[in-house]
Amino acid sequence: MALPCICDSHIHTWCSPDASDTTSMMCEAGERAGLYAMTITDHCECNLYRKDGYDESIRRSYLETRQAAVSFYGKIRVLTGVELGQPLQDLKAAEDVLSIGDFDFVLGSIHNITGYEDFYFLDYQKEDTEKLFSLYLDEMEKMVEWGGFDSLAHLTYPLRYITGENGIEVKRANHDAQVDRILKKLAESGKALEVNTSGLRQKIGVTLPTLNLVRRFREYGGKYVTLGSDSHQWKDVGEGISTGIQVIREAGFTHYALYEKRVPKLIPIVEGEDFD
Ligand SMILES: [Zn+2]
Ligand SMILES: [Zn+2]
């Protein structure tokens, strides 16, 4: 194998409220991009599970993805995942969604802090951004301690808005110790860290998290990293994954993980290596 295999483990379809392209369109885009595998990870915002109809949409996502896996068999591997948002804000919802079927992959995300709206909607000129980021990390840390997911999604997500959209810097020194604790606990738990490449297409212009945090995760003994474009439209499927591979290579990893039936399979990123 001359080049590394490209797998995209974070993709949204029209079964997410903020995406509109069909599951087939997304899979066709993945096939055209030459991906080896892609994992559909539609949103399940646990705190809004029944109120906003995620209980229905995630079932639809699961069934459509399973159908797509059959339709695209031999062209691209289509795997069934879910992006669990704020699972600790409603653990019963998290349990319910995972009982739908045998998911291949579960992302753990924090999109909003308890009592606040999604980071997307906040007015950062009025908010105390240091406090917000700290509260976000508190919930991340608790989610890592809970551990009911496979890969920790887009660590530092609020920076997409605080720094990327509003140009406000968060003081690293205020949060370094907590970020370190999260990375250490994640590494010790054997869970994966996601390198989310959506930031490369946005104003922030970097992966979430950046290289220095991926490197720290590895130094703490982290074994698994997953790569995801977080695409919400067909033209973004697979976007930035090659850059993500460079980031993890620089951090010292020789493989990244693709989850099937919630078991990590290691994909080599070094030329000349093969995998089964
Ligand atoms: Zn997300
Ligand atoms: Zn996502």
CA dist., res. 160 & res. 64, Å (int): 30
Q: How far is the CA of 109 from the centre of ligand 1 (A)?
A: 6
Q: How far is the CA of 223 from the centre of ligand 2 (A)?
A: 22
Mean pLDDT of 147-163: 97
DSSP three-state, residue 45: strand
Mean pLDDT of 243-254: 97
Q: How far is the CA of 111 from the centre of ligand 1 (A)?
A: 6
274 found inside a domain = no
Residue 261 pLDDT exceeds 90: yes
CA dist., res. 148 & res. 136, Å (int): 18
CB 195, CB 207: distance < 8 Å? yes
Identify the residue whose tokens are 């301690």.
145
- The domain spanning residue 213 has which CATH number? 3.20.20.140
1 found inside a domain = no
pLDDT of residue 270: 74
Q: The whole model's pTM is what?
A: 0.96
Mean pLDDT of 231-257: 97
87 found inside a domain = yes
Average of per-residue pLDDT values in the chain:
95
2 found inside a domain = no
CB 31, CB 72: distance < 8 Å? yes
275 found inside a domain = no
Q: How far is the CA of 208 from the centre of ligand 2 (A)?
A: 12
Lowest mean pLDDT among 5-9, 175-179, 196-200, 269-273: 269-273
Q: Residue 16 CA: which ligand is closest?
A: 2
Q: Residue 232 CA: which ligand is closest?
A: 2
Q: Residue 13 CA: which ligand is closest?
A: 2
Q: Residue 230 CA: which ligand is closest?
A: 2
Q: How far is the CA of 272 from the centre of ligand 2 (A)?
A: 32
Q: By residue range, what is the domain housing residue 161? A: 7-268
Q: How far is the CA of 12 from the centre of ligand 2 (A)?
A: 6
Residue 184 burial (CB < 10 Å; 0-12/13-18/19+)?
A: middle
Q: Residue 41 CA: which ligand is closest?
A: 2
Count of the separate structural domains present in the chain = 1
Alpha helices, DSSP H, located in 52-147? 54-71, 91-98, 129-146
Adjacent-strand bridge partners of 7 = 37
pLDDT of residue 273: 55
Q: How far is the CA of 4 from the centre of ligand 2 (A)?
A: 24
pLDDT of residue 155: 98
